[in-house]
Amino acid sequence: MTENNLPYVILVEPQLAENVGMAARAMMNCGLYHMRLVNPREDHLSAKAVSASSNAEEILYTAEVFADTKAALADLETVMATTARHRDQTKPVYTADKAASLLSEETAAGHKCGILFGPERTGLTNEDICLADAIINVPLNPRHCSLNLSQAVLLTGYEFYKTQIEAPREQFVVNHTRLAEKEKVLGFCDYLEHKLENCGNYKIDAQREKLVINMRNIFTRNRLTEQELNTLYGIVNYLEKPKV
Amino acid sequence: MTENNLPYVILVEPQLAENVGMAARAMMNCGLYHMRLVNPREDHLSAKAVSASSNAEEILYTAEVFADTKAALADLETVMATTARHRDQTKPVYTADKAASLLSEETAAGHKCGILFGPERTGLTNEDICLADAIINVPLNPRHCSLNLSQAVLLTGYEFYKTQIEAPREQFVVNHTRLAEKEKVLGFCDYLEHKLENCGNYKIDAQREKLVINMRNIFTRNRLTEQELNTLYGIVNYLEKPKV
């Protein structure tokens, strides 16, 4: 991810320094580093704010402060405003993931972008929203969609972060060992089958065919590692040792 | 969304009642209602917890408490464990969105599912993780991926919530009015053009062709509503009124 052209997170009239700090932490979680503050009520460099940022204080120290929203977005080309409530304005409304993919395209094209967040209690005013190109709405339970400021920053930033990485959505982690080849897995099944044949249990004889199928299903479908296969051999050998 | 078969959110040994309350709030945001607590250190029904839940206290009141993790997931069919750090266990690792789509399929198939979250400071132990079918990893900035408990619940829950809704990712909101038909938009352009012709400015004559194209581009590409078109007519008429 290039840090050169990332969206600005613009907090409009945040009330509590602690919330600004927590928003900085959420930004850092999502690889966003540029904060702008419009007329913050408290000092965003106070000990409270720095402590709440939880090691993301570099964002607070480099934050730019503006007297009004218009000034904070004067040099930006694309601005989106986050709102929780339905607004009476004629404007495109995007879900957070759709907005993230649009902002990703915009920043990749070299456009300076910003995301507006309103004050904790009231959210953005209509006067601020009408300055934005579009509205971002995070889809949440309509019975309970109020988020605190840092959570709104986190969800919006998280969607943007996902557009910037190429992480596999699915991995199978194998540490200090490797997946066992099928021959080895089936070799263990044969070994176990042989041990069972010799254990002298007539029930097993009667159900041999079904047991073999089940056993192979059990041990083939869960992608055993070589280490785990050794563990299974150990278990079988331990079980057949005569009790002292 | 049916509330009958939703994943259980299982908080293992949460330390602070306030964090349990905030996790309940995040669950409610995401339409998740079933909380299970494993050996919580503080009372999850304390005033602190209820206050932090911010009107999601019904989740706290219906939460089930268990002595250990095994008991908390005994009746579940699919369990996923959230971790921030890389773990030394052979298990599938899914991003939060991939995990959400799998959990959505599982719950739709009638399987009872659970998502495990560890204690605030330490996260889940390896003993707890090995009880789970898979690991969920929320993709975040590797420089700063620590989340507090409620934020981990929020991001994981948010991804699940998105699988449960069919919201359009993009809307164009038009309130108390409708989009103007092209004929009306172009009619306004003609009107404006006519007005400009009559204003006696020789510069306009010289650049008429370009001006007409620009003007039509400006007014056609932003999807004007009928109300906005009336506003534009009003502006033009106001401008041409002789100054008193």
CA neighbours closer than 13 Å in the CB half-sphere of residue A70:
2
Arithmetic mean of pLDDT over chain A: 89
User: According to the model, what pLDDT value does residue A178 have?
Assistant: 83
Long-range Cβ pairs for the range B215-218 (8 Å, 24+)? B215/B189, B216/B186, B216/B189
Average pLDDT over residues A159-167: 91
Q: What is the pLDDT of residues A24-71, one digit of tens each?
A: 999 999 999 999 999 999 999 999 999 999 999 999 999 999 999 999
- Assess if residue B149 is contained within a domain: yes
Chain B CB within 8 Å of residue A133 CB: no
One domain, residues B193 and B154: no
Name which of A134, A234, A58, A201 is nearest B144 in CA terms: A58
- Assess if residue B172 is contained within a domain: no
One domain, residues B87 and B187: no
CATH number for position A14: 3.40.1280.10
Name which of B232, B124, B141, B210 is nearest A54 in CA terms: B141
In one-letter notation, the amino acid at residue A2 is T
One domain, residues B116 and B229: no
Q: Could you tell me if B81 and B124 are in contact, meaning their C-beta atoms sit under 8 angstroms apart?
A: yes
Q: Which residue has the higher pLDDT, A166 or B50?
A: B50
Chain A positions touching B170 (Cβ under 8 A) are 92-95, 98
One domain, residues B34 and B154: yes
Residue ending a domain, choose from B109, B133, B162: B162
| Beta-carbon separation of B141 and A97 below 8 A | no
ipTM of the complex as predicted: 0.85
Share of chain A above pLDDT 70, in %: 94
Residue-range definition of the domain harbouring residue A213: 182-240
One domain, residues B133 and B208: no
Residue A1's pLDDT band (boundaries 50, 70, 90)? Answer: very low
For the beta carbon of residue A65, count every other beta carbon within 10 angstroms. 13
- Assess if residue B89 is contained within a domain: yes
User: According to the model, what pLDDT value does residue A173 have?
Assistant: 74
Residue A72's pLDDT band (boundaries 50, 70, 90)? Answer: very high
- Assess if residue B203 is contained within a domain: yes
Q: Could you tell me if A108 and A142 are in contact, meaning their C-beta atoms sit under 8 angstroms apart?
A: no
User: According to the model, what pLDDT value does residue A237 have?
Assistant: 84
Q: What is the CA B128 to chain-centroid distance, rounded?
A: 29
- Assess if residue A177 is contained within a domain: no
User: According to the model, what pLDDT value does residue A244 have?
Assistant: 56
Alpha-carbon distance of A181 to A62, in angstroms, equals: 53
Tell me how close the Cα of A88 comes to any Cα of chain B, in angstroms.
6
Q: Which residue has the higher pLDDT, B38 or B88?
A: B38
Residue with tokens 């579009």: A134
The answer for residues whose C-beta is within 8 angstroms of residue B168's C-beta and 6 or more apart is A95
Residue ending a domain, choose from A162, A194, A225: A162
User: According to the model, what pLDDT value does residue B202 have?
Assistant: 64
Residue B158's pLDDT band (boundaries 50, 70, 90)? Answer: very high
pTM for the whole thing? 0.86
Q: What is the CA A78 to chain-centroid distance, rounded?
A: 25
One domain, residues B88 and B128: yes
Residue A96, Cβ density class (10 Å: 0-12 exposed, 13-18 middle, ≥19 buried)? buried
Alpha-carbon distance of B183 to B188, in angstroms, equals: 9
Average pLDDT over residues A122-132: 91
SS3 per residue for chain B? CCCCCCCEEEEECCCCHHHHHHHHHHHHHCCCCEEEEECCCCCCCCHHHHHHHCCCHHHHHCCEEECCHHHHCCCCCEEEEECCCCCCCCEEEEEHHHHHHHHHHHHHCCCCEEEEECCCCCCCCHHHHCCCCEEEECCCCCCCCCCCHHHHHHHHHHHHHHHHCCCCCEEEECCCCCECCHHHHHHHHHHHHHHHHCCCCHHHHHCHHHHHHHHHHHHHCCCCEHHHHHHHHHHHHHHHCCCC
Q: Which residue has the higher pLDDT, B194 or A38?
A: A38
Chain A CB within 8 Å of residue B66 CB: no
One domain, residues A147 and A199: no
| Beta-carbon separation of B147 and A92 below 8 A | no
Best mutation target among A135, A151, A177, A185 (most B Cβ atoms within 10 Å) is A151
One domain, residues A199 and A92: no
Residue B113's pLDDT band (boundaries 50, 70, 90)? Answer: very high
One domain, residues B199 and B143: no
One domain, residues B95 and B195: no
Q: Which residue has the higher pLDDT, B140 or A173?
A: B140
User: According to the model, what pLDDT value does residue B1 have?
Assistant: 43
Average pLDDT over residues B29-45: 97
Arithmetic mean of pLDDT over chain B: 89
Tally of domains within chain A: 2
Residue B244's pLDDT band (boundaries 50, 70, 90)? Answer: low
One domain, residues A126 and A234: no
Residue ending a domain, choose from B162, B197, B232: B162
Alpha-carbon distance of A151 to B30, in angstroms, equals: 12
- Assess if residue B187 is contained within a domain: yes
Tokens representing B201 are: 């400015």
- For A141, the closest of B29, B88, B91 (CB atoms) is B29
One domain, residues B222 and B118: no
User: According to the model, what pLDDT value does residue B193 have?
Assistant: 86
Residue A241's pLDDT band (boundaries 50, 70, 90)? Answer: low
Residue A2's pLDDT band (boundaries 50, 70, 90)? Answer: very low
Q: Could you tell me if B8 and B35 are in contact, meaning their C-beta atoms sit under 8 angstroms apart?
A: yes
- Assess if residue B171 is contained within a domain: no
Note which residues in 23-52 of chain A have CB less than 8 A from chain B: 25-26, 28-31
Average pLDDT over residues B216-240: 85
pLDDT reading at B2 higher than 50: no
Alpha-carbon distance of B63 to B32, in angstroms, equals: 12
- Assess if residue B186 is contained within a domain: yes
Least confident of A94-98, B189-193, B214-218: B214-218
Residue B54's pLDDT band (boundaries 50, 70, 90)? Answer: very high
